[in-house]
Structure 1
Amino acid sequence: MWGVALAVLLTACGTEKPAAAPSGSPSSAAGAGKLPDCPSTPSKPPTTGALPDVSLRCLGSGPDVRLADLRGPLVINVWAQWCGPCRDEAPYLAALAKSGKIKMLGIDYDDPRPELAVKFATDEGLAYPHVVDQDKAIQRALKVAGPPLTAFVDKDGAVAFVHRGVLTSPQQLNQLVKDKLGVTP
């Protein structure tokens, strides 16, 4: 029984999070200027199977990002600074971003501490734009039970695949990018 409970715990962080602490807007969080700017994307009509039509505030600098405007190939990672498995997979995501072969976006999900989220992203070398979803706006569309979750978006903006739970190796992540998006990292 403990094995099953441990396996479930290691698969995803679920919905538990620490109590909220007073803080400013995400872009005013300490160190936010160290993160890459969020992209300014032209407005596009939503496509079938696309990301939800919600706009999320940039964790660092830059404009809000309307998810429905994004096109791939793109890897979106849903994370939170309080999520242990998110920390485990962060080096694989950082390495993929450094390859420069694919666009990436992080979504800091249901996270009450933007200053700690900025610290997490910078400490882990997640050198790609990040947005904030404190209100769980993507929960229904992507069926988010909790972080981590990684979505693969194709060139037309459709969600080609969603991996729920922790990524276990850089090879697994690279294989998913290749199989789901046709890009060899």
Structure 2
Amino acid sequence: MNFKLGLRTTRCLIAGLVAVAGLAGCGPEQADGTQPQATSSRSAVAGADKLTACPSTPSRPPVSNGLPDVSLPCLGNGPDIRLADLRGPLLVNVWAQWCPPCRAEAPYLAELQKKAGGKVQLLGIDYDDPRAELAVKFAIEHELTYPHLVDADKVLHQPFKIGGPPVTAFVDLDGAVTYVHHGPFKSQQQLDQLVQDKLGVTP
């Protein structure tokens, strides 16, 4: 009898911890007017387990002219990532599933990942997006097979001077942001040329 009570208590405790973890990234979903998912972690969003998991990153000191010292949750599975820990060659692409220009440029990013994933890293950030399930669907449908984070509170608005997505930051080997591109990439050639010019990598 005591064992059953203890097991039940443990299950309740685990459920509570999962609910707290889910609250970190589901504020917009609750504000959207849809059924809140306070008792589920973000990885419970349909299809999230099909996304590339966010890796653990070693802690590093912030870099002058580097990425902002903020941590963002993973859209799929994996830990939060502190942007200041990241080093390049890296593209950080800020997008949203409700953004038509983001859809237009998505094939170019997917192609870059396919042909140059071993030479340059890509990281997506789903920005100001109230529908996590549609964001997951967007990443899967467009074959964006690299990790994605969530900026539900628009913490990158000021550092990246975001008027609206898409915005892409180019980060070099030392972690410095060498260039920030506002607006969508117009062609594969344009994106590939910027990677070569700003990061010294030939896709």
Pick the TM interval, shorter chain: 0.7 to 0.9
TM-score normalised over the length of structure 2: 0.80
Q: Which amino acid aligns with 1:174?
A: D
Q: Which amino acid aligns with 1:169?
A: S
CA RMSD of aligned residues (A): 1.1
Counterpart in the other structure of 1:15: none
Counterpart in the other structure of 1:62: 78
Q: Which amino acid aligns with 2:108?
A: Y
Question: What is the total number of aligned residue pairs between the two structures?
Answer: 167
Give the distance between the partners of 1:22 and 1:163, measured in 2 at CA: 36
Counterpart in the other structure of 1:41: 57
1:139: how far off?
1.0
Q: Which has the larger radius of gyration?
A: 2
Q: Deviations over 1:109-149 (max 9, x none)?
A: 00000000000000000000000000001111111111001
1:172: how far off?
0.4
Q: Which amino acid aligns with 2:92?
A: I
Give the percent of matched residue pairs that are identical in Structure 1 and Structure 2.
66
Is 1:110 aligned to 2:128, yes or no? yes
Give the distance between the partners of 1:55 and 1:63, measured in 2 at CA: 10
Residue 120 (structure 1) aligned to one of 131, 138, 142: 138
SS in 2 for 1:140: coil
Q: What residue ranges of structure 2 are gaps of 5+ in the alignment?
A: 1-30
Name the structure, 1 or 2, with higher relative contact order (CA <8 Å, separation 6+): 1
Residue 90 (structure 2) aligned to one of 74, 90, 109: 74
Q: Which amino acid aligns with 1:87?
A: R
CA contact (8 A) 1:23 1:113 kept: no
Is 1:94 aligned to 2:110, yes or no? yes
